[in-house]
Amino acid sequence: MITIGIELDHVVRNINKQIIKYYSKEFDPSADIDEIDDKTDILGTYAKFESKFKRNEFLYVDYPYEIYASSKPMDKNLPTQINNWLVEISNREDEEIRVIYYNPYEYALTIQSSFFFLSKIGTRVREVFFPEDINEIWEHCDVVITANKEVMESKPIGKQVVKVIGNGNQDDGSVADFEYDSLSSVIEDKEFIDKVLKGAKKGTITE
């Protein structure tokens, strides 16, 4: 069995739009939020805080529901695409493939907010987990779909990373086994699963 882990933020869930909205409300009401590119690293460029404590207070205390529960999917039809993809994967006879969701950097109120987001989009992915450490992701997953440079750089030998462009990672130097513009593009690639299985047969993925 091969397990594919899909990171929520910047792959399934567009938290950047919500960060822009509530950061503008709280700190910069004069900003034209429609002119801010939500594909960039918003926390590193636009939404700047005087300390890590202030940033965490904003994300995890003041606006966890607004950011993590009320966000929209990255693409309008993405939830339907994911559910249809799960059916296609389950019908494969050559390999058992499990799809799970994960998301690092979740604490307290954001966890329940993330479950609300998943219920809102009608997810049919059976397993979700919130790792406290990046390395924990690889204990569960053989293939990871992410926009997170830290996750990409943590990849151990024998695993695969699928990079989704977003959150300012276009030119960040991160290296992946595959690269796509979005999760929708991954799903639309009818050869994607075969590519992953080919990597497994070559010994890229450990049993």
74-111 pLDDT tens trace: 999 999 999 999 999 999 888 899 999 999 999 889 99
Strand partners, 134: none
Banded pLDDT at 202 (limits 50, 70, 90): low
Q: Among 156, 149, 136, 134, which Cα is nearest to 205's?
A: 156
Predicted confidence (pLDDT) per residue in 33-90, tens digit: 888 888 889 998 899 899 999 999 999 999 999 999 999 999 999 999 999 999 999 9
CA 87 from chain center: how many Å?
Answer: 21
**What is the value of pTM for the model shown?**
0.93
Confidence of residue 32 (pLDDT cuts 50, 70, 90): confident
Cα 81 to the chain's mean position, in Å?
Answer: 15
Name the DSSP letter for residue 173.
-
Give the pLDDT band (50/70/90) at residue 21. very high
Strands of the chain, DSSP E: 2-7, 13-14, 72-73, 97-102, 127-129, 143-146, 160-164, 178-180
List domains and CATH numbers for the chain.
2-13+73-105+125-201 (3.40.50.1000), 14-69 (no CATH)
pLDDT at position 171, please?
77
The count of C-alpha atoms lying within 13 angstroms of the C-alpha of 125, restricted to the half-sphere facing its C-beta, is 27
What is the three-class DSSP state of 5?
A: strand
